[in-house]
């Protein structure tokens, strides 16, 4: 096990730290990793691009997951076998509340399992929730950095266009009815990975959390061309949360 590389993420024992940030886009990996105190490229295979470095003297990593719960779950399965136990999803999402603006942050307190991966792990009645310590650290970090943020539930879905163009789908009424329900239930954003992270966290006793950058609002119609707007605020919040968790771990 110590010498064998993981089949999908192409890493072996020692390549990653126990603390891992999880963006989706491999193209953002280097940008995000530069927020560490130190960082070095480790490997890139399929959708998984990894950097490892240090924060407050502790070994930390960043690995992209690609789009969706299937690739996210594979990545987490293999990372945990290499010793990682603390994960923060660092991604983008669309807002469901009209008062949320481009550049705001969504700190996730639970995920709607509107996807097909996690039913292979747990019955659908089981909730997808993050670790309280990680969620609280993200809130503390956002407040310290004066970031505008919202806390609440995300919809983790499988179909991007099923959300954005439901009217052209044969099941359009079903999609629109569910979207109405998500809004009425207070869902704050929609993305494609959080449910898998939280369910695997519950099963394997991992600490998990998620912070999303709002890059569009389907309800208000607000959109921007630059989807990386306020990426710095997102990344700095995630790294500051890591610092809070690391400091707490050192005390204990």
* pLDDT tens digit sequence for 102-139: 999 999 999 999 999 999 999 999 999 999 999 999 99
Q: Which DSSP string do the residues of 96-139 spell out, in sequence order?
A: SSTT--TT-EEEEEEEEEESSSGGGTS-TTS-B---HHHHHHHH
> In sequence order, what are the residues at sequence separation of 6 or more whose Cβ sits closer than 8 angstroms to the Cβ of residue 112?
128, 153, 154, 155, 156, 182, 187, 195
* Block residue for tokens 């959300």: 163
| Whole-prediction pTM | 0.95
In this prediction, residue 173 carries a pLDDT of 94
The answer to whether 194 and 108 have CB atoms below 8 angstroms apart is yes
pLDDT at 226 over 80: no
Separation of alpha carbons 141 and 226, rounded Å: 24
pLDDT at 1 over 80: no
Closest CA to 76 of 204, 246, 216, 189: 204
pLDDT at 224 over 90: no
pLDDT in tens, 52-85: 999 999 999 999 999 999 999 999 999 999 999 9
Beta strands in 15-168 (DSSP E): 19-22, 38-45, 48-55, 58-63, 86-95, 105-114, 149-157
DSSP-derived secondary structure letter, 26 = G
For domain 19-247, the CATH class is alpha beta
């Amino acid at each position: 096990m110590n010498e064998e590389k993981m089949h999908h993420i192409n890493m072996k024992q020692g390549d990653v730290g126990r603390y891992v940030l999880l963006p989706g886009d491999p193209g953002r990996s280097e940008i995000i990793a530069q927020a560490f105190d130190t960082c070095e490229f480790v490997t890139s295979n399929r959708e998984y691009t990894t950097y490892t470095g240090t924060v407050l003297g502790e070994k930390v990593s960043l690995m992209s997951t690609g789009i969706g719960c299937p690739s996210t779950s594979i990545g987490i399965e293999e990372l945990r076998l290499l010793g990682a136990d603390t994960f923060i999803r660092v991604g983008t999402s669309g807002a469901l509340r009209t008062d949320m603006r481009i550049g705001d942050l969504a700190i996730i307190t639970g995920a709607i399992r509107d996807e097909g991966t996690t039913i292979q792990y747990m019955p659908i009645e089981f909730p997808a929730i993050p670790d309280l310590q990680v969620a609280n650290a993200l809130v503390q970090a956002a407040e310290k950095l004066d970031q505008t943020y919202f806390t609440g539930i995300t919809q983790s879905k499988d179909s991007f266009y099923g959300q954005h163009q439901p009217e052209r789908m044969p099941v359009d009424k079903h999609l629109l009815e569910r979207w109405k329900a998500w809004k009425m239930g207070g869902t704050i954003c929609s993305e494609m990975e959080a449910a898998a992270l939280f369910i695997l966290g519950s099963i394997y006793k991992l600490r998990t959390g998620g912070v999303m950058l709002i890059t569009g609002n389907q309800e208000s119609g607000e959109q921007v061309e630059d989807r990386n707007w306020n990426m710095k605020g997102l990344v700095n919040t995630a790294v500051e949360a890591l610092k809070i968790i690391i400091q707490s771990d050192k005390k204990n």
